[in-house]
Structure 1
Amino acid sequence: MCRFVEDDLFAVIIDENGNESESEEELSDTEENQNNKDPQNLLRKLKMEVTTHPGKGGQEVPVYSNDDEHPLDGPHTILHAVQCPKKFIATVAPSEVADTACFVCDSNLVSMQMIEEDADHIHWKQTMSTTHYYATDNWKDDFYRVTPLMCRGVLRGAYRVGRDRSGKIQRVDIIRVYRVTRHFSCWKTVPVFHRVISLVEAALPYKQMTTKQKQLLKANGNKLINRLFIQYYWRFQQSVISQKMSNWDYIDEVDIIPKLPPNFDELRESKKWQERKEALEALLKVLTDNERLSTKVSYAELIGNIQTILAKDANINCQALAAKCIAKFATGLRAKFSAFATPLLPVIFEKMKEKKPTLREPLVECAMEVGRTMTSLEAGQEDVLAALAKPNPQIKQQTALFVARQLDLVAPAKQPKGFIKAVVPVLGKLTGDADQDVREAALQALGSIQRIIGDKNIKSLLGDLGSDETKIKKISEFSDKSAASYAEEQAKLAPEPSRPAAATSSEPSAAAQSAAQPVEAAEADPWDFLDPFDLLGKMPDAFDTNIESKKWQERKEALEGLLQLLSANPKLDPKGGYGGLVEKLQKVLEKDANINVAALAANCIAGLANGLRSKFQQFAISVAPIIFEKFKEKKPTLRDPLVACIDAVVATTSLEALGEIVLAALSKPNPSIKTQTDLFLKRTFMGLNSQTMPKRH
């Protein structure tokens, strides 16, 4: 009978007579496949000091390797699990791993279930599991995939297909076969961080071997060992995400109040600036040592006291420390800090008048971190506008730079439209400020805005300044820099692009160079930046009377006045009640005998639809049938306005909502109605994609 023990290098089998099997030869470190390169040369590992990682129950777990950034395949997983030196074999599972690392565990003491059901199992999402069989001819380093022959769930044999053209099936001795069960998972909140747990075990348990098989096993010095090989790795080079993950997702929330010195308040309120400085230094150290702060504790009083020091303390060193502490509170509480952000901004902006780097630099960092916690820049809009209006040039400069830096983080799809609309005219005015630094900062902020909304919209919002080619050129330059900053920020959050294996040229391809360039943001809709117009309060005089006049010239005059207002004010106030006006225009379009008046009514309805957009949707179903019916008119005088009108109406709703109306129009006997309805459908379908295409009609 045999028993299994492990010496300093490898596990060996010792038979009942005390004879050891032959030891394994050292593994060569010459693998060509970099994705499955040996984690460590075994000879080097024997001489290396063992580094450890915290394990379950507070025990230390030896780290087998920490430089494997690619997942190992099955054969290499077996190789390292089987030939792992004893000093690297763990008896407990590692916990709270946040970096690239490999571990080897004794599967008799640590099971897959123990790892997957540990305290942090709720953070992992299993993506795949596999079971494969591998065999070896020399029990050293030539593991290859084989096909098992199973009978009622029991392994009865294995074979491999020959590598030559004949494809001859080769029988494999079952005692040379290993079963590798692998569970793949990723971190739920950071899915680029992966874990692979591999159970490596002999396919045929020793107890089930025949005497002949045991003799053959002994003769070849095989180490029949069950082990777990656990690999943690990032799908791309570790970046800021890993830092955020290790410092946030893994770290427990901490209540820092009990960690402050007992005499903290006494020192903070001292008349001696050295003692106030001592208190702030102690707080800063506690905040630095505990990056994630408890969200169940109220820090309002403490943050309020630090805010007072920042605003009123006469010593610049104390002010600088207060700014650093506030920045740490912002990074430690994140979104929970947003309630303190708005009251702090005016204090920070006011202190920006200080020119000395001792205070200015902590203030800049503080403003940046506080701004990150805000739900939107619109929350601090009034404070930003007030700071930009200050006479002090340093305040104006640093506030404009704050706007630029915050907008460098914003995706075009999430543009703060209200903030942009309010701040652009002010920044435009500052481009003519007497101070050069203020002018430059204002242009930089406008460049960040241009990246988000496009050059056409920035020119529109700037008014007359939009025709100043020198400033527009400078804004465009800052826009390019903002795009680079935004792309750099996004690159930290995205995996590296995969490289084709067949690529041999050291020069990047044109496609690769193109992909490396920042993607130009789509132009924002100018309509979003327009002021809504109160049409109902500015209707033409005697409109209600003239629209019902028996004289077509007066009806025409009333509609021309309305159309002029609609053309001059493309965005309408959505709060108005437009039902009565739409009803009057429908009546004119449907029943007026004069083709010119009907055409004007169609243009006015189109203007209302374009000005109200989705708010016009409630009128679409009642207006559309009238438009389709009027398509029987062949003259371009009316037909063209009708085409523009139906296109504007459908843009406020969906084609599905008008489905029955469209089908009714297609069934009309009049050929002009059917033709124009077909053309309407063609135009509409050309503007749809697979997601917006109606499913029912």
Structure 2
Amino acid sequence: MAEQQEDDFKSLPLPERFAHKNWKVRKEAYEDAAKEFDNAQTEQDSVVRQFVNDSSLWKAAVTDSNVAAHQDALICLCSFLNIAGTQGCTRTRGVAIAPLVEKGLTSTKPAAKAKALEAILLYVELDKADPVVEELLPLLSHKLAKVVAATLSCFTSIFHDFGTKTVDPKPVLKALVKVYGHADKNVRAEGQKLTVELYRWLRDGMKPLFWNDLKEIQQKDLEALFESVKNEPAPKQERLLRSQQAKAERQVAQAAPTEEYADDDEPEGAFEPELLAINVFEKIPKDFQERISSTKWKDRKEACDDLFAAVNVPAIEAGSFDDIVRPLAKCMKDANIAVVTIAANCIEALAKGLRKDFAKYRSTVFEPMMERLKERKASVIEAIAAGLDAVIGATSLSDNLETLLGYTTNKNPQIKLEATRLVTRCLKSTKTAPSIPDTKLISDAALKSLTDAQETLRTAGAEVLGVLLKIMGDRIMNTHFEGLDDIRKAKIKEFSDSAEVNSKYRPKAAPAPKAAPAPVAKKHIGKKPSTAAPRKAPAAAAPPPREESPPPTPQPKPVARPGGVPRPGAPGTGIGRGIRPPGLAAPGKKLPAPSATSNPGSPRRPARLPSPTEDEPPPPPKPLGLGRGLTGRALSKPVAAPVDVAPAPPPAPAFDAAKEAELEDLRIEVERLRTSNEQLRSDQIKLSSQINELQNQNAQLIEDHTRDVLSIKAKETQLVRARSEAESAEQTSSQLQREVERLKRELGRIGRANSPRPESFAASANDIFPDPNGPTNRSQQRNSVPASPNGREGKENMDAFESKRLSPPSSRPVSVAIPSMARKNSNPMRSPARPMSMMYRPQARAPFADGMRDGDGAGNTLDGDARSSGASSQASNNAQTNGGGEQGVESWKRAAEVTQNLKARIELMKARQGHLQRG
């Protein structure tokens, strides 16, 4: 009964048996399906197509609850994938990969685990790895730690078999940070294994993606693990995709090289940075443009520092970096060397990260960096040189050669030296040998450097030539070394021996072997028709006759040929053009005779033999003689030709001797011309070197002359300035001297004015205070007043004097106000009569005069003296009250006014006294 039920189950279709409730039925179904898949011929078989079209069958199979049935289901899936191809892979991987990890890789059965891993690797092999990685990455966040560990182990196997070029490692590397923060130690251990496997392929190039996000202790643990694989050789891909397998088969069919990966798209063991290209725009500060354009150098330096931290990665994703490269090129002209240094570092990082994509920015930064090489500070030069090396490495030497060689003749010696050193570094690092024209350009520039005045530049030029010699070889470079002395050649050879280069020039000589088969084809053509190729027939038939010639040829015939040498005129007779060589016609002079003779064999041989062999010396008659002679003797030619070759060579020397003599003369002439040409070339090189030296000396002399002229002009300017300053000082000194003299004169006048004679004061006192008993009539008093230069003014003064004299004594306080009135009278242009009339009033001095009437006049003298001293003291007080500057000048003016008033009074008193004495 049980057997009947089993037979009933086997009669069911496979899809129904795959979904049966009984695990045994499912297990048998998996086994039967695996056999069907193994026996299928193509993916178009019906049994295969029904499982391709219904992918849900596999979702239930790979998650079978029974352990035994589950293992058979995994075996069946692997058989299906092997025959189903790419279509079966793409249709089923979306429903099968996650269950394979959750149920298969976490199984306790090693066989089931191995089959589950094999199925996942088949999904990668049949199509590509990216969809499989996308299906596996979400499982790294699974709530079960064993599923996360199984996923990491699966990633390790995928990278180990297919490599990092087939499988993109960036998504996995970015997810590793989360793995190292997992609580389960098994997960962290599997993460370390995966990291070590990636390190085998990527080395330190993978660190920028996740290394800085790890803890220090985690970094140390990983570094210790890296030491175990650091010295291993570069790994190679162990398992190929189906597309790669097809390419390899095509290459084998086409007899291509039997390397593992001949196509550019196939993986290589070496790490290529573009696999881990990073988008650096996310890390560049948003305010970079504002900060790089700031007027403060610290802001510019900080902006470049932040940019360097963002772009200092092994590979950078391509993008528009114009807004970043242009400010960096502008920073090459910055006055602050710290900004220049960090900007050069940024350019170096961009060139290394972008590589070929940096070629479009080369023209923007190359020339500013070359111009900045004039800097003297070593750290700046090193940074710029490293940036230039990276720029040229991102492009090629030939792209930059013309611009670079232009700077080897720059006026600045520092730029010239660094440009020459840059050429040397580029030649050492390039992997492609320069072309012949580029070699000539570089050699010419280096030869100019050998004649420079600076020893360092001469050494740099010799090093360039030495590296070129190592790359290009002696045969090409010796032509450039003509005219150099032995010392320079020895130095160049020394640099060549010590140079380490990455390229070697190999001339292309491919066409030479292909030219050899052509003559062979011509030989076959010449043998078939004798008339079609008359010239080729002797050449082709020449070797056989030489083998047959010794037995039949008689020795006496060469003796007869010297006698026939004078017969070169025979061809002019027109008897037979085919028998032009005279030396072979010695047996008979007439052509018909040989046929009529009793011994036709011997005469025919000489007649037939010369025609093919002796045609060769004279080319013009050759076609005619061969054509007619061969057609006239068609049957005998094949026999005569082999025998005729032996006698043919002797006449050739007669013609060869003349040609050889002429050739020898031509060789001598060519040799002479060559030696003269070499001599002229060496003289030209010497003259050019002398011209260069003279030009350098002339330039140095011009610089010295310019420097001397500028120094002379500077000193002349200083002299002119000193002379103008001396003249202004002399003028100031003379003005001060005149002012001092004037002040001395004024002081002398004031001193004389303040010390009047005693008798003048006595006379003035008597005049001012007359005796009351004396004459009192108005006429006498009027007469006693001295005459003024202006009569009217004197009269007015006299009237004023009389009226004031008769005024009552109550007006005496006026005498007390005399000093103040004198102080107010500051105008020196005033008439002296007014102060006299105001200051000396008889009424004011009347009581004093009455009291002193009976005296001897001493009171008058004392009174005059007191008044004079009062006026002087008043003037000095006024001078003291006016302080500094303009006040001092005003005080001197007032003192002068007081002095003039005193003089006027003294004169007035003297005149009055004289008038009284005369009266």
TM-score between both structures, scaled by the size of structure 1: 0.48
Q: Between Structure 1 and Structure 2, whose CA radius of gyration is higher?
A: 2
Higher normalized contact order (CA 8 Å, seq sep 6+, divided by chain length): 1
Name the structure where strand makes up a greater proportion of residues: 1
